[in-house]
Structure 1
Amino acid sequence: MVFKRQPSLSEWLPELRQWFEKELGQQLLISERALLDRLLPTMFGYHLLQLSFDNRLDLARESPVRHQIMVNPLTELGLPDSAVIARNEELPFEHNSIDVVVLHHALDFAQSPHQVLREAARVLRPGGYLINVGFNPISWWGLYRKLKFNKETVPWQGHFISPQRMDDWLSLLELTMVKELSDYYRLPFEKETWRQRTRMIDAMTRRCSSHCGAFMLQVARKDVGGMTPIEPVRKQRKLLNLPRVEPSTGGARGSVSEEKS
């Protein structure tokens, strides 16, 4: 799958934050938070990493993990003490060091979404969990994105990665999909009056398919099979075959000759 070239996340930030502060964006965030609040209390560990477009969003508020790190692409005023300035494609963390990784639309607005996912899998410890929240192309929002003429605006310029593609990527990175959820079935109209008029369509969509909401939430676990350590082959020491020393019989021979004489 070839993704359309996008600007860097630092260039996206003002427009992204402005859209999510609107009424439609706020409703979508409320729905996303509800699912995260339900799932995160079941995931334990020492370190949690959040990759999002806005560090002001406390998406892991219900998580029992106390040490929470947020990655920001640039230096800004008001960043929390736990914020780290870095690119999502190059995370400054050790291998297998994070217990829970939360990707909040980090793949939708990345120049290289597979690289971001690869980095998240790299820092995730064996047995740890990765949560990805992204726009769902198999939804009314995905259909609206295809029909919309102006696709250069947020959020329609996002990648909208399909669940099948995500499943393939996770398998390649040795991550096992354990849960897939979807929510927010409202049509993507900016005006609340239009969203209210189409509530019947929302209810019908929810009943027909539970995986056709505006966003998908995937939970994957890093499963690494146990390995049996291979002991090093010990080379046997080669011994030199030295000649055996035969006992001397000179004295015995002399005695015999004397007896015969």
Structure 2
Amino acid sequence: MDNISSEKSIISLGAWLQSPAGSYVRNWEQACLEKLTADIFGFHATQIGLPEIETLRGSRMPHTWLTDVQLPAADYDNAARPLVAIQEFEELPYASASIDLVVLPHVLEFVAEPHQVLREVERVLIPEGQVIICGFNPWSLWGARQMLGRVSDDYFLPQDGDFIGLPRIKDWLKLLNMETASGCFGCYAPPCETEKWLNRFAFMENAGERWWPVLGAVYVVQAIKRVKGMRLIGPAWKTRTAKARQGVPATNKIHKQGGNG
């Protein structure tokens, strides 16, 4: 799949999200992401692709962007945040170690080189920066329906998506020294095409979370970039106070610092 076909596939997913089943997925993911991003602090965050899902709605960071391939301006008239236009998802226009949070809503499933996208995400994240990935679960009722669609040429989800299981995503993250922090599944209703039937199966949300949690139609996983040999250092005043208690006058330490300056 080349870059042009990948972009068209993601666009088709954006159109699918306007359907009843797509709205069901979009609403669940936005609610889940709103809770996750509200507790992630920093200065810079970006969502990569799929502006139809507002993944950073709950973020408190002062600088947030949508990073996406350049499309007609009309497609971004209602975008919630500024657009950073790119040629392809495999090359991000950010300096290394410059972003606190990256959100990937279903991008890995529709690009030619998902590993390269993840490598780019790892590159631009600061140490202890975080990535959140949304994906369709191939081991679900929706995944089974999609497999049947490949046989009968009657697809429920966009046909060009290569849906990646959560264990595989975790393996990729581990290879990049990214530690999985949390994850959840959702959307347990069968693959119904009408809002009426999706509402009838609404009771399956609570039942699914309790009895078959890994069979949700979609998942969200959060990971943290770890840097080997790095350790967090506490505020300097704590060290200074500890030394003062051991008999080293704090005033002497201050004078020495002033002399070296």
TM-score for both structures, normalised by structure 1: 0.78
Aligned AA (2:218): F
Instruction: Describe the SS at the equivalent of 2:128.
Output: strand
Instruction: Say whether residues 1:60 and 2:61 are aligned partners.
Output: no
Cα offsets for 1:110-143 (capped at 9, x unmatched): 1111111111111111101100001011211111
1:152 CA drift (Å): 6.6
Quick check: 1:108–1:134 contact (8 Å CA) kept in 2?
A: yes
Distance 1:199 1:36, change over 3 A: closer
Cα offsets for 1:51-98 (capped at 9, x unmatched): 1222x5432111011211211212421446721111210101111110
* Structure with greater Cα Rg: 1
**What residue is the counterpart of 2:135 in the other structure?**
134
Distance 1:203 1:155, change over 3 A: farther
Rounded to whole Å, the distance in 1 between the matches of 2:196 and 2:83 is 39
**What residue is the counterpart of 1:160 in the other structure?**
163
Instruction: Say whether residues 1:48 and 2:45 are aligned partners.
Output: yes
Q: List gaps (5 residues or longer) in structure 2.
A: 232-261
Query: Quick check: 92-101 or 185-194, which moved more?
Result: 185-194
Cα offsets for 1:135-194 (capped at 9, x unmatched): 011211111111222267742431110111111100111100111111110111112344
Q: List gaps (5 residues or longer) in structure 1.
A: 229-261
Q: Which has the higher helix share?
A: 2
Among 200, 206, 210, the residue aligned to 1:207: 210
Distance 1:47 1:62, change over 3 A: same
Query: Quick check: 186-195 or 27-36, which moved more?
Result: 186-195
1:211 CA drift (Å): 2.0
TM-score for both structures, normalised by structure 2: 0.78
User: What CA RMSD, in Å, does the superposition of the two structures yield over aligned residues?
Assistant: 2.4
Instruction: Say whether residues 1:85 and 2:82 are aligned partners.
Output: no
Rounded to whole Å, the distance in 2 between the matches of 1:75 and 1:193 is 34
Rounded to whole Å, the distance in 1 between the matches of 2:60 and 2:123 is 22
Quick check: 2:146–2:155 contact (8 Å CA) kept in 1?
A: no
